[in-house]
Structure 1
Amino acid sequence: MKAFSIICVISILLFAGCSKSKKQQETPQAPSVAVDHPQLRTVIYTFEYPGYLQAEQTVHLVARVSGYLESYQFTPGQRVHEGQTLFVIEPQPYKDKVTQAEANVESSKSKLAYTKASYERMQEAVKTKAISEIDYLQAQSDYGEALAAYEEARSQLSLANINLSYCIVKAPFSGRISRNMIDPGNIVGTDADNSALATIYKDNQMYLYFNMAYPDFARLPQNTPSALPVTIQDVNNPEKTWVAALDYSSPNIDLNTGTLSLRAIARNPNGELLSGMYVKVIVPYKSVPKAIVIPESSLGTNQGGRYVYLVGPDDTIVFRQVEVGVLTPDGMREITGGLTLEDRYVTKALINVRPGMKIKPTL
């Protein structure tokens, strides 16, 4: 009987020990959760508008004389330099006209010299009544006609030289040129149907055009866009951006749209910006120097707006609704209310935590 009692006591102690060990194993440990403190940084408020680019200068090259197109001397789509020969229209007919005009000048010059000398003699003779008044007036008229003919001949020579110079079409400035609109061997003319040769774009600087609503325009610094820096963003590749400076705003508001037309200048040394390119324009209008920010990925969204999970002093999860501002280009969201620099917030995996949950925070 005594042995049986001892066995019962031992069994009870073993069972109690096993139960205690099982309870210890079933008690969950607090999970590790990544947390962080909010940061301070300068946040820029911006407006965004669609815009388009245009070359600083665009010239449509046209034939200014008619003739046989001998050649073009450029690579379509490439850069050309100011003064470079682009097209050659057969010059020989115009050289012949210059030679003819030069001959006419010499002929009229000789006739002018003769009539001038005759007129001067008549001036002396009429004083002594050696000739009649009619003869004198005739000499005067002949001299006047010869002088006019000489001036006309000189004018025709100048025009002939100008037309000859038009046979060589040169680049008016350095820039990028389009394809040739007409092939060598064709006859070009001065009418609209067959005068277009090519288009050249001066693109070392580009003009950016866009329209801005007047209420937004009124919020720009000092209500003036002069030299205000803006950002150009490629709509197809948002990572590609360029800087431009506003240099013009229209003096009136469009009654139909309530907008103003604005222009900015962007440097384009590498030719990345193309005329006719549609872009996004980012215009800064306000700077907040000491804004509280956290990653956008650390915020949740519900019917009440945006929220974060904070970690209390006892390392338990606390739900808090917050007010938010702008999103920065690197994914940081401004917090305008509900958060302080001393707070600790859950940085990621928000679905794995819940209010009141005990955690092990890791910075």
Structure 2
Amino acid sequence: MASIRLLSPLRAPTSKRLFSTCTILSQLKNAKLTAHQAQIELARSKFTPQELELARLTRDAKLGWLKHLPEKWIPYLELMRLEKPVGTWLLLIPSYWGITMAAYSIAAPLTTTLGAIGLFSAGALIMRGAGCTINDIWDRNLDNQVSRTMERPITSGRVTVPQAVAWLGVQCFAGLAVLLSLPWECFYLGAFSLPFVFAYPLFKRFTYYPQAMLSICFSWGCLLGFPAVGAPLNLWVAAPLFLSNWIWCLTYDTIYAHQDKKYDINAGIKSTALAWGDKTKPILKGLTVTQAGLYTTAGVMNSMGPGFYIAGAIAITRLYKQIINVNLDDEKSCWSAFTSNIQTGFIFWYGILFDYIMLLLGIL
């Protein structure tokens, strides 16, 4: 009988016990959701009804084509910022620079170059989405303190953190599939960028220069472009090209950060916008002059033709005028200046592309 008593606790649980366990787990889950919802409501209580309504209307207005998709899909695509392709273009354009500069250096066939551009375009869309998802997971308790970001999927409660992590895994696997379609050198070089991607959202908590980390991530395509077309990674070309893009990204993201500076101060979020304050414009002007020197150095070391320098001069002039004209205390002016960098980036690329085509035609 004693042995039976000892073994009795090991008996399979009854349906009553299973029901009780499931009930407890359900209650715990509901408690977590209730606590999360309470946290959201507490954060929203700091804003006026007018600010809350404006944030909601702004989100709805920017959804664009996403509105026509199934309702359940929309928050996940918002995590990828598919309704705001500006960041995807700014991540992709440096890759175009690197690919085309590398193709020019070895006179790579046009099919090779176009193939690399296609794969990088898909990769940029996916990995920018993954980066934004990481950012939203880390910043969920900061985004709810800024009116511009309070309607993001996690902060607004439309996506939970576990759901966002699962979605991040899907994006990373898709990005890996694209990366494995490129030469192995791209895989190894691309892997080195991942610590920067994951670390960037943390930097705004303890340093005023998170833009420096973001600029590393957004400049990595300048390096990846070389092995993508089978060219050796010539650091005499790739390094100044990388640094030129790094400065460019630092410039436009500092302007972007000026949109949120009044909220960032209250939330304890750090940025170059707050670090430089009234000195922002003189600093950005000096950085743009340095960018011009580095970009020119990359062209000289790669023996580029006239298109590179003409387009580069036009783009640098455009950047300098942008710094002069932007009103750093006006959100709309900052956003307009920020988005204009897509056209500026393409101007840089058109010069490189022109020289590459002239080379293939035997003119250069």
Q: TM-score category by the smaller chain? A: under 0.3
Which has the larger share of strand? Answer: 1
Query: Normalising by structure 2, what TM-score?
Result: 0.21
Flag the structure with more relative contact order, 1 or 2, with Cα contacts below 8 A and sequence separation at least 6.
1
* Structure possessing the higher radius of gyration over alpha carbons: 1
Which has the larger share of helix? Answer: 2
